Amino acid sequence: MFEHDFLGLFPEIFLINATIILLIYGVVFSTSKKYDYPPLVCNVSWLGLLSVLITILLVAAGTPLTVANLFYNNLIIDNFTYFCQIFLLLSTASTIVMCLGYFKEESLNAFESIVLILLSTCSMLFMISAYDLIAMYLAIELQSLCFYVIAASKRDSEFSTEAGLKYFILGAFSSGILLFGCSMIYGFTGVTNFEELAKIFTGYEITLFGAQSSGIFMGILFIAVGFLFKITAVPFHMWAPDVYEGSPTLVTAFFSIAPKISILANMVRVFMYSFYDPTWQQLFFFCSIASMILGALAAMAQNKVKRLLAYSSIGHVGYLFIGFSCGTIEGIQSLLIGVFIYVLMTINVFAIVLALRQNRFKYIADLGASAKTNPISAITLSITMFPYAGIPPLAGFRSKFYLFFAALGCGAYLLALIGVITSVISRFYYIRFVKIMYFDTPKTWILYKPMDREKSLLLAITLFLITFLFLYPSPLFLVTHQMALSLCL
Amino acid sequence: MEFAPICVYLVISLLFSLILIGVSFLFASSSSLAYPEKLSAHECGFDPFDDARSRFDIRFYLVSILFIIFDLEVTFLFPWAVSLNKIGLFGFWSMIVFLLILTIGFLYEWKKGALDWE
């Protein structure tokens, strides 16, 4: 165990230790009279960013093991987890970069939110590499517990409190459903390990009315519903718009970026590897169609920015599920490409939303005439909206194209058709941003403060990536193909 | 099977306490039946000054949450303490790591001032 288990887990161990040290550092100095009770949130966020970057280095460079099962088969390391973890840590780092200016302007003094972000990042690392139902559930719970707290972190705002409460209740409910599914699976098979489950389910005809498998069917169904709750797929999406709108913008950004990666990675592991079976595919098929339709239609009626982004992320989950419901290697690969590009675009959008914070940037109409007041951020936002809408040759077009291509390849013509139609519909509200910024003249001109250097750097990098990805996309395809292969072979 | 005497004991103690309550009803004189003064709240002889629905102090919540956390810690300590001679040094140090993490949480709340009552 000491030879390689702890070595393989070194990034996680480092991140936990860094989090603990930051917690102690923050609490000791922020309550010290000698330094006049300093607000440490900026300090702690820089240090947190540093520790996330070191963790990326440790994950990327330090891994001596390419494939290993750790801690009595509870965790696994392979190419899939390797790239997912790096990607997750990068997105966390960019969230922390986004929030550097946020705390100063909001005069939020809670350095604990950074500590909680680090802690939930660590649990998401575990979630990606979970290889057992129990390890999976524990990682999901640790992550959600951190999220409940940071959703309600702005205590003087009613919206934030309401969002935290709503998120907590529905999250606990969905965790209960997930746990019930796990216990059904365990009760009917007697194992919790993914590898053992995969062995059991190979060639096993899972039907609802079969003599042997109705319990297993119910277990898989409950696990799927629990996951669909967590990823805000459509019949189970009710909480997402309220929570996204109510919680502080930084937290919304984190919610819509990081857990998408980890939960999708975990879902792919569970459903593609352990329960590989056509029975659950119909469920995801349905959810994919419903999410695409609702994401396209409901976002049209929104006037508030964060609510619109919540619905658009629901729609994007629908597109990602296209790749999921195929169940082919191309499907998984296009899903991974889709997640990557979705996260890039979302980082970009939220960086702008966080940058335009003067006078409570809340409604889309507040953007009026920002082409004149903030020309560069206006053009950035419009360029970001084009790949969101899926306009060639930008990155979002590539991801949607590959998703539809995978759907066509596995014979799911209906999915591809509905996907194309809904993405055409959703173009309406993405382009509306551009219309408001360039062609509307509002009554009151809102002047926004210039954004800080960190945010502008982040914006520049992500914008460059999503704009020029089409010139050299082969590394992304190779990496995602390798991830999909390591999962399926 | 050892729980059977405990169940019997529970029933007997329930009966016994009911008897103790009932005896006073039997022998109390019914001459001093309730009059308004006797039914009013005891506030050192005065009428209550303000509404009884006062704000609840958050420190009670804090103490109860801390109790739950450290109660759970003790739940984990029991099996460890019983099986310490079987799990060896590795089991010992695993628990020490667990306790260390809890201690850091405790340190946090101490420095934050969740424990001082004044």
Contact status of A31 with chain B (Cβ, < 8 Å): yes
pLDDT of residue B57: 82
* ipTM rounded to 2 decimals: 0.85
Q: Among B90, B101, B112, select the one facing A27 at the smallest CB separation.
A: B112
CB pair distance less than 8 Å for A20 and B104: yes
> Who's near A296: CB < 8 A, 6+ residues apart?
A315, A422, A423, A425, A426
How far apart (Å, rounded) are the C-alpha atoms in residues A310 and A314? Answer: 6
pLDDT of residue A359: 54
Q: Among B101, B104, B112, select the one facing A31 at the smallest CB separation.
A: B112
Which of residues B43 and A420 earns the better pLDDT score?
A: A420
User: Is 80 exceeded by the pLDDT of residue A278?
Assistant: no
Chain B residues bordering chain A (beta-carbon distance below 8 Å): 90, 101, 104, 107-108, 111-113
Q: Is the Cβ–Cβ distance between A481 and A333 less than 8 Å?
A: yes
CB pair distance less than 8 Å for B104 and A28: no
- Chain B CB contacts of A23 below 8 Å: 104, 108
Residue of B102, B104, B109, B115 to mutate, interface with A, max A Cβ within 10 Å: B104
Nearest to A486, CA basis, from A231, A265, A232: A265
Residue A68: phi and psi, rounded to 5, are -155, 145
C-alpha distance from A339 to closest chain B C-alpha (Å): 34
Q: How confident is the model at residue A3 (pLDDT cuts 50, 70, 90)?
A: low
C-alpha distance from B92 to closest chain A C-alpha (Å): 15
User: Is 90 exceeded by the pLDDT of residue A353?
Assistant: no
How far apart (Å, rounded) are the C-alpha atoms in residues A311 and A284? Answer: 18
Percent share of chain B, pLDDT over 70: 94
Contact status of A21 with chain B (Cβ, < 8 Å): no
How far apart (Å, rounded) are the C-alpha atoms in residues A258 and A143? Answer: 11
CB pair distance less than 8 Å for B107 and A20: no
Q: How is chain B split into domains, by residue range? A: 57-117
Q: A206-256, pLDDT tens digit by residue?
A: 776 666 778 888 899 999 999 999 998 888 888 899 999 888 888 889 988
A-chain residue closest to B109, CA distance: A27
Contact status of A385 with chain B (Cβ, < 8 Å): no
Q: A11-54, pLDDT tens digit by residue?
A: 999 999 999 999 999 999 988 888 888 888 888 999 999 999 99
User: Is 80 exceeded by the pLDDT of residue A318?
Assistant: yes
pLDDT of residue A144: 93
pLDDT of residue A117: 94
Write down the mean pLDDT value for chain A.
Answer: 87
Contact status of A169 with chain B (Cβ, < 8 Å): no
Total beta-carbon pairs less than 8 A apart between chain A and chain B: 16
CB pair distance less than 8 Å for A27 and B104: no
CB pair distance less than 8 Å for A23 and B104: yes
Q: Is the Cβ–Cβ distance between A234 and A79 less than 8 Å?
A: no
CB pair distance less than 8 Å for A31 and B108: no
Total count of residues recorded for chain B: 118
User: Is 70 exceeded by the pLDDT of residue B5?
Assistant: yes
- Chain A CB contacts of B108 below 8 Å: 23-24, 27
How far apart (Å, rounded) are the C-alpha atoms in residues A426 and A134? Answer: 39
Q: How confident is the model at residue B33 (pLDDT cuts 50, 70, 90)?
A: low
C-alpha distance from B110 to closest chain A C-alpha (Å): 9
CATH topology for B57-117?
Methane Monooxygenase Hydroxylase; Chain G, domain 1 (1.20.58)
Q: Among B90, B101, B108, select the one facing A27 at the smallest CB separation.
A: B108
pLDDT of residue A387: 83
C-alpha distance from A220 to closest chain B C-alpha (Å): 31
Q: A382-391, pLDDT tens digit by residue?
A: 888 888 888 8
CB pair distance less than 8 Å for B104 and A31: no
- Chain A CB contacts of B113 below 8 Å: 31
Type of residue found at B7:
C
How far apart (Å, rounded) are the C-alpha atoms in residues A418 and A293? Answer: 8
Q: Among A1, A24, A31, select the one facing B104 at the smallest CB separation.
A: A24
Average pLDDT, integer, range A112-132: 93
Residue of A6, A23, A116, A149 to mutate, interface with B, max B Cβ within 10 Å: A23
Average pLDDT, integer, range A176-198: 92
Contact status of A20 with chain B (Cβ, < 8 Å): yes
Which of residues B97 and B115 earns the better pLDDT score?
A: B97
CB pair distance less than 8 Å for B108 and A24: yes
Nearest to A148, CA basis, from A128, A170, A126: A170
> Who's near A249: CB < 8 A, 6+ residues apart?
A102, A306, A350, A353, A354, A357
Nearest to A147, CA basis, from A165, A129, A173: A165
B-chain residue closest to A30, CA distance: B112
C-alpha distance from B112 to closest chain A C-alpha (Å): 6
CB pair distance less than 8 Å for A27 and B107: yes
> Who's near A130: CB < 8 A, 6+ residues apart?
A74, A75, A76, A136, A139, A266, A269
Average pLDDT, integer, range B88-96: 92
